[in-house]
Amino acid sequence: MATRTWAAIWHENSSAAFAFAFLVAVGVSKTLLTKLIFTHSPTPVAFSVLSCLATNICLLPILIYQRDFRFLSVKQLRSFAGICVAIALDLGCQNVALAILSIALQQCIKATLPTATVVVESIVRRKAFHPAIYVTVAAICIGPILVACQASWQGKSEAGSQLFGAIMMIVAMIGGAFKYVLCHATIKTYQQEMGVLAFTFWVECFVGLMLLPWAVLNGEAYKLLFETEQSAYEWALLWFTGAFGGVRVVAQFYFLAKTSATSLAMSGIAMQALTIVIGIVAFGTEVTTLLILGVTATVITSSVYAYLKTSKVLESPAETMHDAVAIVEKHTEMDMEAREPIVGKE
């Protein structure tokens, strides 16, 4: 009886478990492989451009095969360019930081994105959050501070100083917060109008073009193409890792199809923790008491924030009832659409 019960549970949840494992494996591998590349070729901005190109080389045949390729209209182009500026800033600065900082410090600073988002949303939109949210996002900053205290700030790599790397990561988080607050609704609209893959294709095109002048002016493009000696294996690794950006997008939407947004938030915590642990071992980061305390504090506070945001514990009964009514209305609308002929729909 127990065997059949466990077998039934596994049968019901095996696809979700596979989606979770696939997403975490892709996310962790992407960060670790990128860090490995930067240890041999510290050209983070040039690699970002190559990553955009590699992703689109993979996406274009799929879009053509599925007949989902769409051009941007003039009306779409205006707001789309603004979205891509925010994404380019986020991507470029994160890769610069990853090339300089230890994975533990980079990931801990990355975990402060909710803090930056709440601050920006409170100021720009004058949105008030529950006091528990403010306490939690403030607590998230404790972990990065502890990890930073044990870091060697005297060290300097080809990509820049430790201080420059930390500043770049903070800029990336602030840019990511503005991207979420100001562009999130527009991004969702574009994804619905164009489809996720077509939207990703055009984002990669624009972001790559925006980052290209930066890579040329700072000399990274020339260094990557002509100065750095790359074997066939290293070039293959460059292109393979670059294409992982598109794989991660697909993995996220496959995961959401099998689970929920709550599970996606939890998978982010798992990715963060696993990336830090493997990164410490793989790249020989010195393990200190402050590092352990900082990483632990970051993972715990990030988990608490994810729980508070994705659960209903902070909502009043009236808000919960409002959400329930909205969900019923949404499903009723979807049911009515399903009864109509599917003409011109994706």
pLDDT digit string, tens, across residues 243-253: 887 677 677 66
Determine, yes or no, domain membership for 2.
no
Q: How far apart, in whole angstroms, are the C-alpha atoms of residue 38 and residue 124?
A: 36
Determine, yes or no, domain membership for 126.
yes
In the prediction, which pLDDT does 106 show? 93
pLDDT digit string, tens, across residues 155-189: 666 767 888 999 999 999 988 888 777 777 777 77
Average pLDDT, the chain: 79
pTM (2 d.p.): 0.79
Determine, yes or no, domain membership for 329.
no
Determine, yes or no, domain membership for 218.
yes
In the prediction, which pLDDT does 40 show? 84
In the prediction, which pLDDT does 270 show? 83
* Phi, psi at 161, each rounded to 5°: -80, 165
Q: How distant is the alpha carbon of residue 185 from its chain centre?
A: 17
Determine, yes or no, domain membership for 8.
no
Determine, yes or no, domain membership for 301.
yes
Nearest to residue 109, comparing CAs of 156, 135, 146, 136?
146
Nearest to residue 171, comparing CAs of 275, 81, 95?
95
Secondary structure (H, E, C), the chain: CHHHHHHHHHHHHHHHHHHHHHHHHHHHHHHHHHHHHHHHCCCHHHHHHHHHHHHHHHHHHHHHHHCCCCCCCHHHHHHHHHHHHHHHHHHHHHHHHHHHCCHHHHHHHHCCHHHHHHHHHHHHCCCCCCHHHHHHHHHHCHHHHHHHHHCCCCCEECCEEHHHHHHHHHHHHHHHHHHHHHHHHHHHHHHHHHCHHHHHHHHHHHHHHHHHHHHHHCCHHHHHHHHCCCCHHHHHHHHHHHHHHHHHHHHHHHHHHHCCHHHHHHHHHHHHHHHHHHHHHHCCCCCCHHHHHHHHHHHHHHHHHHHHHHCCCCCCHHHHHHHHHHHHHHHHHHHHHHHCCCCCCC
In the prediction, which pLDDT does 194 show? 77
Confidence of residue 108 (pLDDT cuts 50, 70, 90): very high
Domain of residue 211, residue span: 18-316
In the chain, the number of structural domains is: 1
Confidence of residue 259 (pLDDT cuts 50, 70, 90): low
Determine, yes or no, domain membership for 339.
no
Determine, yes or no, domain membership for 342.
no
